[in-house]
Amino acid sequence: MAHHVFPVRVYYEDTDHSGVVYHANYLKYFERAREHLLGPDELVRLLEEDGVGFVVVKASLRYRDGARFGDVIEIRSTAKQGSPYRAVFVQEAWRPGGTKPAVEAEIELCTVNRDGRLVKLPDGVVARVQALLAGA
Amino acid sequence: MAHHVFPVRVYYEDTDHSGVVYHANYLKYFERAREHLLGPDELVRLLEEDGVGFVVVKASLRYRDGARFGDVIEIRSTAKQGSPYRAVFVQEAWRPGGTKPAVEAEIELCTVNRDGRLVKLPDGVVARVQALLAGA
Amino acid sequence: MAHHVFPVRVYYEDTDHSGVVYHANYLKYFERAREHLLGPDELVRLLEEDGVGFVVVKASLRYRDGARFGDVIEIRSTAKQGSPYRAVFVQEAWRPGGTKPAVEAEIELCTVNRDGRLVKLPDGVVARVQALLAGA
Amino acid sequence: MAHHVFPVRVYYEDTDHSGVVYHANYLKYFERAREHLLGPDELVRLLEEDGVGFVVVKASLRYRDGARFGDVIEIRSTAKQGSPYRAVFVQEAWRPGGTKPAVEAEIELCTVNRDGRLVKLPDGVVARVQALLAGA
């Protein structure tokens, strides 16, 4: 299936004293990738004009290997399913030269309005998820 | 079942521009709670004397509500199962006055030596997990 | 001079691959200490009822030693000067058993309203700064 | 004077509930920029082969404006002075369309060996600082 690719460099800030990337930081990388996948300018517009923002409702991660300082890891993202209210992304972090993903994740998101109430996913988000599902 | 309780205050640093705690930060809170549950001084000793550290191998989270600036959330932790090589913790974040957990998680950990190789869980860790499983 | 004391434990999340606390994180510790010094509940009230929040306008830090995983560092805070619009805090991070501060900082803050405009420091903040200046 | 330019996009993770970038995060941005300025691959080599890493010894920051979600800020870096043991960088964060820097900083660094002892700056670092001082 087609996937969106987004590179992330590992800096001092990302690692912990064990020498590898701190486990929570992959959630940040996956979010950065999703923002690029969906279009950062459109996300700003949605938030400022329509008052619509994203919330993560579920996340599951499996860690196989630890990325290290200086690595440029590749975040590969695609969609698993979509509904009018939920988008489910399948995301992987690959170390340079890796033969399998260092981290695999499934992240489920909803959108909320300024009062924090659930709203239907904006059309642009649904379209992007459909395109990923179709392998575009 | 008995559980370990650890309070966490939400500071500016924890929130994002949506007004609630950034989703990745709950993984930090859950780790802080596990460190206290296992004994921070023993964890330092394990690392410095035995060269044994922890790695998260799986994490799954379900987000129901967002903690806000100033909240003192309560992290409730217990164990789900243990093996010689893995400890599985069930952890929840409760907002003040909440009737159900704001965030629920299951976190699976292993221990590794200085070369990053899997080693059996130290006895103290196994004992602590057994005590949680027994409801102590 | 009297100072406010606030303990901070160093977790995995705080360190980087060099083995010590990542330099930016001391700014987080100093802010946590200031929030406790000023009263976290009052800060929440100020924000929610009066729409008043804090912004850091200047910060200078001198790093002498690096705190390590498991350290409980002590944040010692006092005020250097105050004005109707600015509060200047002098803050230090001490490692356990240290003979001088590991990190020294001077942090200057203002308060802003919901539109981001500068407003006079709330009376409670001024009173707290005066008390620190007076050595109370 | 010539300066090194490095773009940084502001994500959810970077902001706090006040709506702008959390003040400590600019130290992260400045470090990312310095790593690119000095060459990330060379920094990895220095660390792994020569056991040489960087420590920040001083940092002073002046905050004038707050970057917001979605901004692509520009980090402009140059050197102020150098010595065999210290490199001093002058770094600024510019918001899109800004007429003055949102944040200005001066950051002083040393290099240490595996035992944490101060060592002379590696030749490549000195050369890069000289080039910045010369306006190259």
Q: What pLDDT digit, counting tens, does each position of A1-35 carry?
A: 578 999 999 999 999 998 899 999 999 999 999 99
Of B18, B24, B116, the CB nearest to A27: B24
- What pLDDT is recorded for position B135? 79
CB within 8 Å: B27 and A28: no
C48 shares contact with chain D (CB less than 8 Å): no
Give this complex's ipTM. Answer: 0.95
Question: What tokens appear for C6 in the block?
Answer: 């606030």
> Which chain C residues contact residue D25 at CB under 8 A?
24
Arithmetic mean of pLDDT, A65-80 = 95
Task: State if pTM tops 0.90.
Answer: yes
CB contact under 8 A, A15 and C16: yes
C119 pLDDT above the threshold of 60: yes
Residues of C in contact with D32 (CB under 8 A): none
Residues of A with a catalytic annotation lie at 16
Q: What is the pLDDT of residues A32-54, one digit of tens each?
A: 999 999 999 999 999 999 999 99
Helix (H) or strand (E) holding A109: strand A103-112
- What residues of chain D lie within 8 A of the CB of A31, using their CB? 11-13
Q: Which residues of C touch B11 (CB under 8 A)?
A: 28, 31-32, 35
Dump pLDDT digits (tens) for D80-125.
Answer: 877 899 999 999 999 999 999 999 999 999 999 999 899 999 998 9
Q: Which residues contact C121 (CB under 8 A, 6 or more apart)?
A: C82, C84, C85, C86, C87, C110, C111, C129
pLDDT on residue B82: 75
- Local confidence band at A135 (pLDDT 50, 70, 90 cut-offs): confident
**A35 CA: distance to closest CA in chain D (Å):** 8
Instruction: Measure CB to CB from residue C11 to each of B12, B31, B41 and give the nearest one.
Output: B31
pLDDT band at C1 (very low <50, low <70, confident <90, very high): low
Each residue of C7-64: pLDDT tens digit? 999 999 999 998 899 999 999 999 999 999 999 999 999 999 999 999 999 999 999 9
Strand partners, B55: B110
3-state secondary structure of D6: strand
Q: Tens of pLDDT along D17-75?
A: 988 999 999 999 999 999 999 999 999 999 999 999 999 999 999 999 999 999 999 99
**Cross-chain CB nearest to A43 (options D43, D54, D70):** D70
Tokens of A12: 């001092």
Query: What crossing angle do the helices spanning C25-38 and C123-133 adopt, rounded to 10°?
Result: 100
- Please indicate if any CB of chain A lies within 8 Å of the CB of B24: yes
Average of pLDDT values for C94-103? Answer: 96
Q: To the nearest whole number, what is the mean pLDDT of chain C? A: 93
Answer yes or no: do A62 and B66 touch at CB < 8 A. no
Assess A63–C contact: CB distance below 8 Å, yes or no: no
pLDDT value, residue D5:
96
Q: Read off the pLDDT of residues D1-14 as tens digits, 9 standing for 90 and up.
A: 578 999 999 999 99
Question: What digits encode the pLDDT tens for the residues A81-133?
Answer: 778 999 999 999 999 999 999 999 999 999 999 998 999 999 989 998 888 88
- Asked if C63 lies within 8 A of D58 by C-beta distance, the reply is yes
pLDDT attached to residue C82 = 75
Q: Does D19 touch chain B (CB under 8 A)?
A: yes
Interface probe for D, chosen from C15, C43, C63 (most Cβ of D below 10 Å), is: C63
Catalytic residue among B14, B16, B41, B123: B16
Among chain C residues, CA nearest to A22: C13
Segment-wise mean pLDDT, segments of 10 residues, chain B, 136 residues: 89 93 98 95 93 96 96 95 90 96 98 94 90 81
* Residue C63 touches partner A, C-beta closer than 8 Å: no
Cβ-based contacts of A69 with chain D (< 8 Å): 44, 47
> In chain D, whose CA is at the least distance from the CA of A35?
D11
Q: Which residues of B touch A86 (CB under 8 A)?
A: none
Q: In terms of pLDDT, which residue wins out, A136 or A79?
A: A79
Chain centroid, CA C93 distance in Å: 10
